Amino acid sequence: MKALLLDTIGELVGRKVVVLFAVLTVVLLLGVWGTWEIRQDISPEAGQGGDADLERLLEPWVATAFSKITSVFIFFAVLASAGLMPRLVERGRVEFYLSKPFSRTQLLLGKLLSIWLVYGVVAFAGVLAVYAVTAVVHGVFDISILLLFAIYAIDFLVWVSVVVLAGVLSGSTSWAIMAAFGLWLAQWLLSAREFVTQLTGSKAAHYVLEAFYYISPKTDELGDVAVSLAVKQPVDSWLPLGSALVFSVVMSCLAVWVFRRRDY
């Protein structure tokens, strides 16, 4: 695992991915710093609890904003890491890895977890830096924001498991990216399943769409769970979290199954 982790870090540095996240972080930091004057304009004038009231007002907005910002960082992390598994299984390179004293299951899962950990740390480090500046500028720091990041770590695991499976199946970075796009498109269509059912008037379509909805990871709704936890509000449903975890495990197991049966 340590060797795979170091290998993934080497690929991260060698492909200049850190620069991408650094630029994105700096742009967002400048944007947050630029909102200082806006805060001064809307800040209540002298009065008891003025700043405290403003901070309470801003907290839900900040949590929602950072839900979107974290999604953007995850999007770039998925794109940046999509080619790592296809590169591992390419001819000449895969033989090198398979010659090492660990099983194919350990190799696949070790690489998957290394991608999730290394690229997740880089992405969340950028988000945390932006949040730290936001907390200083607007005085809205709340330790509960870590719950939001924890939920999005699971969200990132969903996407990593999908691109790793697609990478093992196809050996192509393009197909790995298309698999991630296909999952996003499928979730978008399933979010409109009631409209589709009404449009078709088919009970069979209703049951099929409902079945796919319950087994899909529902990453958009996972974001709603993250925001609710961050602002200390009740979670409407834990189904998105449960389905995301199950989906990640299933995709990872399928990737292991395919990898173990491929003739390299």
> Given this model, what pLDDT does residue 85 score?
93
Structural contact between residues 11 and 84, judged by C-beta atoms closer than 8 angstroms: yes
> Given this model, what pLDDT does residue 48 score?
43
> Given this model, what pLDDT does residue 219 score?
87
Which range of residues forms the domain containing residue 142?
Answer: 2-261
CA distance 11 to 94: 15
How is residue 188 written in tokens? 């978008």
Residue 119 CB-half CA count within 13 A? 31
> Given this model, what pLDDT does residue 54 score?
41
> Given this model, what pLDDT does residue 260 score?
92
Q: Indicate the pTM of the whole model.
A: 0.86
Q: What is the DSSP string of 19-48?
A: HHHHHHHHHHHHHHHTTHHHHHHHS--S-T
81 residue type, one letter: S
Q: Collect the ranges in the chain with pLDDT lower than 70.
A: 35-58, 196, 199, 201
Count of domains observed in the chain: 1
